Structure 1
Amino acid sequence: MNVVLDAVSQRYGLTLAMNRISLTLQPGTIGILGPNGAGKTTLLRTLATIMPPSYGSILFDDVQIDTEQKARSVRSRIGYLPQDFGFDPQMTVADFVAYAAWMRGVEPGEWNRSIDRVLEMVDLTDRRRSKMRKLSGGMRRRAGIAWAIVGNPQMVLLDEPTVGLDPRQRLQFRSILSGLDDAIVLLSTHLTDDVAAACDRVIVMHSGEVRFDGSVIALSSLSREDLPGHSDLEKAYMHVLPESERQV
């Protein structure tokens, strides 16, 4: 899959949440960094075709997504995990993931194998028959990751996926990302160490605009010793934000 955003803007009423963003996305893991209100979630929702652009255009494999019919045609190829995702509390974990498999067009005969595979990846095999309401917050987050990746979607959009995961589970999550080489993976996060460990490319957003787009190494090279941070990547991230955001 190849996805192109051309001067895409999004408004919520009078608020400009994304301002003329142009990006080309190809397979690989892309970290999206930025403070609260930077536009990260809005970008993911736009790519998930939940919100049509207020202005500009978005193309999937050279097809402009400008109608609801076209949006529906690409949704089966997208795995989207919002930061706060909904679920039927009476559903079992397996049923929750099966619903995602159905939405992505996985053949019913392949459901069990696909579900088993992703539940093993997120370490929830023993919770297959557990009700979603009985899971801890971290387990629900892992079930959400399984939801997002079942059926091998061509684009995976993850909004703060490591919230609630312990250090071992975060390492496991990074291992999962390494197995999604054929997909475009966008990882919205506040954690620069997740970006450093798992991402090929990083996009820094602020106030609905892209402040940096390049490799993790290129961003790290902008580090300055006089800036706050515990690593070169943290200091470089602070460097590309406006000076008003650099206070800790």
Structure 2
Amino acid sequence: MLDALAQGYGKSTIIDNLSVTLQPGITALLGPNGAGKTTLLRTLATVMPPRNGRIRIDDVEIDDERSARKIRDRIGYLPQDFGFDPLMKVVDFVTYAAWMRGVPAGKWRQAVDETLKMVDLADRRRSRMRSLSGGMRQRAGIAWAIVGRPRVVLLDEPTVGLDPRQRLQFRKIIAELRDTVVVLSTHLIDDVAAVCDRVIVMHGGVARFDGSVAELSALGHDGLPGHSPLERAYMHLLPEGEQSL
């Protein structure tokens, strides 16, 4: 739950008075660059403390570093540019994530094996991270975020670098997480249409729309740019002057 969240960098306000309650299911964050999507994910991941307002995950209100530490093992977060040791093997990379998430040691192997199978990397488990293609590396990052089935999964542009077949695989992975709170930042409207239950459209640090995919599609009309009702509806929500492709 976010209540009147304010967030920013230096003197700049990026998110202003945002209130959102997240439920299990797949929520898309849509918006142009600079809309506040990455800042929101970083705040939810407890990387950045809020400037103002309240954040509550499960029964924990996050208001300082101590409360943030209580909740981090329930959060899986994949930033756009995630770090890794290039010499680390894929299986060790994902096992490390399982350890950080508090998965019991006796369950590491099963959790890691299941996750690598989900992201289609079981045959590359012994490969070093530096040897992976960009798409494989991105799937290893997704495995990092979901191993151990955290309560909240935050994915920032997770399909960057994936080819069409891999994007279909990604959608299958995400569809299996519907009992989890998944927040997916993306620019790809077709991914939203395929897997998301809810859409939040952000612009200028505020939510201009919050509802189902069908409700968003209903806002589109033929006079707007776009190749689908969902694309046209998204363009409808942008300020005049930004409604061109």
Q: In structure 2, what is the Cα distance between the partners aligned to 1:230 and 1:77?
A: 38
Alpha-carbon distance, 1:30 to partner: 0.3
- Aligned residue in 1 for 2:148: 151
Q: In structure 2, what is the Cα distance between the partners aligned to 1:231 and 1:62?
A: 40
Select which of 47, 50, 53 maps to 2:50: 53
Q: Is the aligned partner of 1:103 residue 2:103? A: no
The two structures, once aligned, show a CA RMSD in angstroms of 0.7
- Aligned residue in 2 for 1:203: 200
Q: In structure 1, what is the Cα distance between the partners aligned to 2:178 and 2:209?
A: 23
Select which of 11, 20, 25 maps to 2:22: 25
Q: Is the aligned partner of 1:225 residue 2:234? A: no
- Contiguous gaps of at least 5 residues in structure 1: none
What is the 5 A alignment of 1:79-118?
Answer: 79-118=76-115
Alpha-carbon distance, 1:73 to partner: 0.5
Q: State the aligned residue count.
A: 245
TM-score, structure 2 normalization: 0.99
Q: Is the aligned partner of 1:76 residue 2:73? A: yes
- Aligned residue in 2 for 1:180: 177
TM-score, structure 1 normalization: 0.97
After superposition, the C-alpha distances for 1:186-228 in whole angstroms (9 at most, x for unaligned) are 0000001000000000000011111100000000000111111
- Contiguous gaps of at least 5 residues in structure 2: none
Q: Is the aligned partner of 1:37 residue 2:9? A: no
Give, as a single letter, the amino acid of the residue that structure 1 aligns with 2:118.
M
**Dislocated runs of 4+, deviation >6 Å:** none
Alpha-carbon distance, 1:62 to partner: 4.1
After superposition, the C-alpha distances for 1:106-151 in whole angstroms (9 at most, x for unaligned) are 1111111111101011110111011101111100000000000000
Alpha-carbon distance, 1:87 to partner: 0.3
SS of aligned partner of 1:186: strand
Alpha-carbon distance, 1:63 to partner: 2.9
Q: In structure 1, what is the Cα distance between the partners aligned to 2:61 and 2:155?
A: 23
Alpha-carbon distance, 1:156 to partner: 0.2
Alpha-carbon distance, 1:61 to partner: 2.4
Select which of 202, 210, 215 maps to 1:213: 210
Task: Give the conservation status (yes or no) of the 8 Å contact 2:60–2:71.
Answer: no
- State, as a whole percentage, how many aligned pairs show the same letter: 68
